[in-house]
Amino acid sequence: MSDINLVQVEGLTVILGGRVALDDITLNIRAGSFTGILGPNGAGKSTLLKVLLGLIHPQRGSVLVFGHKPGDSHGLIGYVPQSISGLVGDFPVSALDVVMMGRLGPDKIGRRYGNADRAASMEAMEAVGIEGKAQNRFGSLSGGERQKALIARALCAGPKLLLLDEPTTGVDPVAQDDFYAMLTRLKDANKITIALVSHDVGVITSMVDDLICLNQKVFLHGPPEEALKDGMIGKTYGSRTEIVMHGHDVPHRHLPIHGEGGGND
């Protein structure tokens, strides 16, 4: 894994609607890493992704993505939102149509899709395992299939950094471990860096290389095993936290105790 930082954030403060969404945070995301971003609802996780995309401008601080200001890295960043609610239901658009949207950059608006766009989109759908659903209406797909289509949409432009916001929303819990394993395969096969916002504490801590515990401030930025020490998860969430761990032969609980680092049982 490279020691080069693709994302450099220093002293970042964001105020939205008179409320502090992010408070003086500093963090880096290394090239080739799988970074998890954990925190409760309203912690500023999605806001951080939107700052990196250049969609939200901070009040204070420095943010560099690929050495440039956010918004100047067109084609290098893929983004997967929680959902595209307007495309679910009876809207007549196929899964392939949704994926090919990822081929439209600022310099391509208004042009027709070509053979190269279709080929790249089908290759991305194959990479996530839904090439057989290309002609299916997007709204008819299962929650997991829709999220895979959104990942394919982000991949088809060949990004070097993939930002995912709660990608397992609507995914069957039984399939979530396989979903995260798929992301790891994609990271290695495509040589990309992944930053993923999630509430799946137990799964994330067993899958990622680096973990950012965020609740307006950064409570932890380091190896995931550090999150299970000294009650760091509880400090981030502001309460006693029970974590169901995965990634081993048998799921088990981690029960941090007030005033102690806790242990596994």
In angstroms, the CA 121 to CA 228 distance is 40
- Is the predicted pLDDT of residue 54 greater than 50, yes or no? yes
All structural domains of the chain with their residue ranges: 1-76+159-239, 85-156
In angstroms, the CA 32 to CA 68 distance is 18
Closest to 147 measured CA to CA, from 173, 169, 176: 169
- Higher pLDDT: 175 or 54? It is 54
Q: Over the stretch 123-156, which tens digit does the pLDDT of each residue have?
A: 999 999 999 999 999 988 888 888 889 999 999 9
- Is the predicted pLDDT of residue 120 greater than 90, yes or no? yes
Cβ neighbours of 101 (radius 10 Å): 18
CA angle 87, 89, 95 (to 5 degrees): 50
- Is the predicted pLDDT of residue 12 greater than 60, yes or no? yes
Q: Over the stretch 210-256, which tens digit does the pLDDT of each residue have?
A: 999 999 999 989 888 877 776 677 778 775 544 444 444 434 344 34
Q: What are phi and psi of 85, to 5 degrees?
A: -60, -30
Report the pLDDT value the prediction gives residue 260, as an integer from 0 to 100. 39
Identify the CATH assignment for 1-76+159-239 out of 2.40.110.10, 3.40.50.300, 3.40.50.920, 3.40.50.1370. Answer: 3.40.50.300
Residue range 77-89: mean pLDDT, rounded: 74
Return the structure tokens found at 71: 């918004």
Return the structure tokens found at 46: 């999605």
- The total number of residues shown for the chain amounts to 265
Residue range 193-199: mean pLDDT, rounded: 91
